Amino acid sequence: EDQVTQSPEALRLQEGESSSLNCSYTVSGLRGLFWYRQDPGKGPEFLFTLYSAGEEKEKERLKATLTKKESFLHITAPKPEDSATYLCAVDGSARQLTFGSGTQLTVLP
Amino acid sequence: DTGVSQDPRHKITKRGQNVTFRCDPISEHNRLYWYRQTLGQGPEFLTYFQNEAQLEKSRLLSDRFSAERPKGSFSTLEIQRTEQGDSAMYLCASSLRGAGETQYFGPGTRLLVL
């Protein structure tokens, strides 16, 4: 059974204070690892797809990395508008996305 | 740019009533997925279609739930005899092909069962 665990559950940062979110996963065959951003009351918004260990992707202040057991979402110099819940999901042996519970990020001005 | 759309955005119903939700995927996407999300949790898979064929259903999908995608385009999710435990956000997503392909989500339908 595919499993995804995200930590921390909640994170409060000052504007400009860089940090990382963690996503640990267990799958028998990884077909893709996905990061989404979700604002309250809205559907998840796609950020990144990673397929193999060592892969990295960047978009503005966000950078996602992947190892064989976990993925990190690095946030550099965050702004208040980066406040959201960040969801990690895997496409593995279950042949559909298995999500973690998310990290609720709050960036204070 | 026409992303995934869902209708209605909000639904309030009384316990025991039937409700139906609609999802219009991104055009040319042949895979369509339904998920359910409760507060503080990530989305949970319910079912998916490849074109008009329903290929997989989660054990979360009780007999009261039924989904269709009659012409391989839009899809409907019906819940019969709603229960308070059905209150959740129902999300639809679509992808171009299958394994490893990015799923793009709609805005969701928020269901409240009184």
In this structure, is residue A98 part of a structural domain? no
Domain count across chain A: 1
Residue of A nearest to B10 (CA): A41
**Residue span of the structural domain in which A61 resides:** 3-93
SS3 A84: strand
pLDDT digits (tens, 9 = 90+) for A53-91: 999 999 999 999 999 999 999 999 999 999 999 999 999
Is A95 in the B-facing interface, judged by CB distances under 8 Å? yes
pLDDT digits (tens, 9 = 90+) for B9-59: 999 999 999 999 999 999 989 999 999 999 999 999 999 999 999 998 998
Q: Which of A42, A49, A98 sits opposite B102 (nearest CB)?
A: A49
In this structure, is residue A61 part of a structural domain? yes
Using a pLDDT cut of 70, give the percent of chain B over it.
97
pLDDT digits (tens, 9 = 90+) for A11-53: 999 999 999 999 999 998 899 999 999 999 999 999 999 999 9
Is A2 in the B-facing interface, judged by CB distances under 8 Å? no
- Per CB-CB distance under 8 Å, the chain A contacts of B6 are 43
Question: Are A43 and B103 inside 8 Å of each other by CB?
Answer: no
Q: Which residues of B49-67 are buried (b: 16+ CB within 10 A; e: fewer)?
A: bbeeeeeeebeebeeebeb
CA distance B65 to B80: 6
Specify the CATH number for the domain of residue A10: 2.60.40.10
